[in-house]
Structure 1
Amino acid sequence: MEIAYIVGFVVALAMALGLTPLVKKFAVRVGAVDAPNQRKVHTRIMPRLGGLAIYLAFMAAIMIALPLVSGEKPHVIWGLLLGGTIVTIVGALDDRFDLSPKVKLLGQIAAASVVVSFGVKVDFVTLPFGDGTQMGWLSIPITIFWIVGVTNAINLIDGLDGLAAGVSAIATGTIFVLALIMGNITVAVLSAVLLGSILGFLFFNFHPAKIFMGDSGALFLGFSLAALSVLGFKQATLVSFVVPIFILGVPLSDTFFAIVRRTLNKTPISAADKNHLHHCILALGLSHRNSVLVIYAIAAMFALSAILLSTVAQWVALIVIAVTLLVLQVGAELIGIVQKGRRPVINFVQRLLSLK
């Protein structure tokens, strides 16, 4: 089985390295470019559609790696490939024609529905220290909501050179490691191929970027990570239900804080702003490259926590979850990702210390 991981990764990496310059030329030729504005940090017109290189490299490598694996579930894999194709087409059209949010959302729901119809859904949930419960028909809307939510979360963090690609690579690598630990060959092969595709593209996307992934890349990566996390953790105990959330901790927490921020400010949840995690870290005075590296480190912390959660006793996992959430809240208050000067937890601790 090891040969499938290695071949899939190497072929995907090589394909992405070779395809990305070609996609760059194609993006410029068809007018799929990103112009700077007041919300964006780049100052020159950049080609997008880079996600097309990731997608094509992934598809080609999967076709080569899968024959090396026997006894797996090809129908599930075909569901992932079909759903990924749908969401990539939607993203590519948006990169060129700027589709409306409603059209993009419909495309994401369609892609999620396809993969669910092929059997990729959460079937079983176990409450802490309790008995399991079959999800029944609820597994369908819950899984679709998860896939669409993660897809948009990756799209939201795509604001700095190499940020979404690097965070996605860390998440994919984490899923690969956990799949190996659990003996899930299907997820391990898919993750190895996806990781190679991302890293090959990241060579051209890290600061200073030569090409952006665009919505074609952000939507494809978000969809793929969401689907792989469901496929790898279908029978969700408390720990395995939280593990994919931790794997995707950076984009999901950024999305959560954006919703809270916009709710408190009484602005539409879909309204864009410059208060995302990467904006806040840039505001601290860090350079573009260093800001991305700091977020990589945060993503790596979440990844290590996810691996730890999968290997410790449940009561230890609860402590890890509580500590991580506390650190996340304090960090959010320090950088002002919700509201500048709004520090309820920090102020509470300071009041406690002043009583002594």
Structure 2
Amino acid sequence: MYAFISIFLVSFLTTFLLTPWIIPKLKRANIIGRDMNKPNKPEIPEMGGFAVIFGLSAGVLLAIALSTFFGFFNEEFHLRFILAAFSTIMLMALIGIFDDLFAMHQAIKAALPLFAALPLIAVKAGKTTMIIPFINEPVHFGILYTLILIPIGITGASNVTNMLAGFNGLEAGMGSVACFSLGVIALGIGRIESAIILISMCGALLAFLYYNWYPAKVLIGDLGTLSIGAVISASVIIGNFEMAGVIVIIPYAIDFFIKAKNGFPSRNWWGEQDCGKLVCRKNPVGFCQWIMKVSGGITEKGLVLILIGIESIFGIIAIMLFLL
């Protein structure tokens, strides 16, 4: 357990110390985005996800060093699986960097995660037999699991976490809850590689949340949002607890289906300012606007807290189903 605490702290401190260093550099490089939910729509440094990725990397590399030099995790630790998952996450981060810098077409951005799944496909990560709710017998997918379900899982999770974004603290807040919940499950069922990745990402996201909370000093960017989905999906695949990943993704999926119904709008997904609250005067085009509509207007901080609370509920459900 001390090893996991060390991994969490190293990830947290790396991101916590790196973020304030990177903020002025992003400003000087003119890597900025508009905060659409503020009255004057201020320009804020974007691509703060760099600090999150460095924090995640520090935690994972520490775990590998602890295993290599000091014999931690040796009986349960499979280096090829954690490196394959880490490679998938890094490829997804690279896709996010390209999107932040060059604003890729939505269709291209949706398809590129298929390429990021290749490391997991190469090592035949995961078990091809899955337990699916309401089906009495385990379902054996065979080669279809490796060639079809893994790419779908990586692509789907990364895209939905990328879509439910744009409010101060939302991405890091929901992502840290999802990673914490899945990390608890991974530890409980003895999936060491998954636990290392999830605990590292949780520490990095919580540190970033300090700077990203309302009013945000830095935005996470597509680099960060795509990586969150990659961490969730890659971890549950190598740990063989995919259904837990499906459960924690449900709030993101709700937003996805609302946006799909409205043609995946690239504009006017934010709220309108009204006496310090965000309101939606038209038909909601996303989960966030739906909450604005139902509540009759809500502060940005309140909206984010509600969504983090919803994610926490699904995280608890996943933990209860797998550990109790």
Q: How does 1:258-297 map to 2 (within 5 A)?
A: 258-259=259-260, 261-262=261-262, 268-269=263-264, 274=269, 275-283=285-293, 284=295, 285-297=297-309
What secondary structure is seen at the aligned counterpart in 1 of 2:219? coil
2:255 is the alignment partner of 1:249: no
* Identity within the alignment, %: 23
Gaps of 5+ in 2: 67-71, 270-284
Name which one, 1 or 2, has greater alpha-carbon Rg: 1
Alpha-carbon contact 1:160-1:278 (below 8 Å) kept = no
What secondary structure is seen at the aligned counterpart in 2 of 1:282? helix
- Per the TM alignment, residue 8 of structure 1 is displaced from its structure 2 partner at its CA by 0.5
**Cα pair distance change 1:59/1:31, threshold 3 Å:** same
Q: How does 1:59-98 map to 2 (within 5 A)?
A: 59-68=57-66, 69=72, 70-71=74-75, 72-98=77-103
2:316 is the alignment partner of 1:304: yes
Q: How does 1:1-356 map to 2 (within 5 A)?
A: 2-35=1-34, 40-42=36-38, 43-68=41-66, 69=72, 70-71=74-75, 72-121=77-126, 123-126=128-131, 128=134, 130-139=136-145, 140-232=147-239, 234=240, 242-259=243-260, 261-262=261-262, 268-269=263-264, 274=269, 275-283=285-293, 284=295, 285-311=297-323
**Cα pair distance change 1:137/1:271, threshold 3 Å:** farther
- Per the TM alignment, residue 225 of structure 1 is displaced from its structure 2 partner at its CA by 1.0
How far apart, in 1, do the equivalents of 2:290 and 2:211 lie? 25
Amino acid at match of 1:166: G
Alpha-carbon contact 2:169-2:214 (below 8 Å) kept = yes
Q: Give TM-score, length-normalised by structure 2.
A: 0.85
- Per the TM alignment, residue 3 of structure 1 is displaced from its structure 2 partner at its CA by 2.0
RMSD between superposed Cα atoms in Å: 1.9
Report the equivalent of 1:324.
none
**Cα pair distance change 1:161/1:125, threshold 3 Å:** same
What secondary structure is seen at the aligned counterpart in 1 of 2:139? strand
How far apart, in 2, do the equivalents of 1:121 and 1:65 lie? 21
Deviation per CA, 1:14-66: give whole Å up to 9, x if none: 00001112222222222221135xxx314111111111110011112211122
Q: Give TM-score, length-normalised by structure 1.
A: 0.78
Amino acid at match of 1:27: L
Amino acid at match of 2:93: T
What secondary structure is seen at the aligned counterpart in 2 of 1:160? coil
Gaps of 5+ in 1: 235-239, 263-267, 313-356
How far apart, in 1, do the equivalents of 2:205 and 2:63 lie? 17
| Aligned residues between the structures | 296
Higher relative contact order (CA 8 A, sep 6+): 2
